Structure 1
Amino acid sequence: MSEIEQPLRPVPPPSRHQMAAMIWIAVFPTLTLLNLLLGGLLRTTPVVVKTLVLATIAVPIVIYGLMPPLQRIRASLIRRGRRR
């Protein structure tokens, strides 16, 4: 079988360090962008309310929008490393 025809082997789950890096890569830009977009609107709100609003918006973006592509990128990098 050629390299292209071989079935994809499952990629092991990420280590704690890999997961932490992926979460940081997703969360930091998301929170930065949300702060830039909503900072003016939330300027006078208490810190706890501001944090609740930002977390309520950021968590679904990170979990459903950013983590799946990051996991696919990680899997692709691992598979590419296996071929070498």
Structure 2
Amino acid sequence: MEREGKALAADELDGQHRHAPGVASVHVRVIVTWLAIFPLVAVGMTVMGLFANGWSPVLRALLLTAVVVPTTVYFVVPKLLLAYGRLSRRRQMP
């Protein structure tokens, strides 16, 4: 969406206080991101507990985030946002 020739960020509002069409609000993106990260971290910590007990916490965090962050950003969050968009469009249909 543009305002005076300038593109709006995903969480900015236009002059009529509307979000850009098809863009989830920052609040929805926070919830979606948490829903993506929490299960991945829980599973990752459980699996790492099988082989990384003696590792330093920094090394465990490095390995866990090296797997969780790309998985979340490239796969899980886009799928969750797509599902959210489909649900929100269904609600808006008469």
| TM-score above 0.5, yes or no | yes
CA RMSD of the aligned region, Å?
1.5
Higher helix share goes to which structure?
1
Residues 11 and 41 of structure 1, relative CA distance in 2, 3 Å threshold: farther
Using CA pairs below 8 Å that are at least 6 residues apart, which structure has the higher relative contact order? Answer: 1
After superposition, residues 46-61 of structure 1 pair within 5 angstroms as 46-61=56-71
Divergent runs of 4+, >4 A:
none
Give unmatched runs, 5+ long, in structure 1. 1-9
Higher strand share goes to which structure?
2
The percent of aligned pairs where both chains have the same amino acid is: 24
In the aligned structure 2, how far is the partner of 1:75 from the partner of 1:11? 10
The Cα shift of 1:12 comes to 2.9
Q: TM-score when scaled to structure 2?
A: 0.72
The Cα shift of 1:21 comes to 0.3
Q: TM-score when scaled to structure 1?
A: 0.80
Give unmatched runs, 5+ long, in structure 2. 1-19
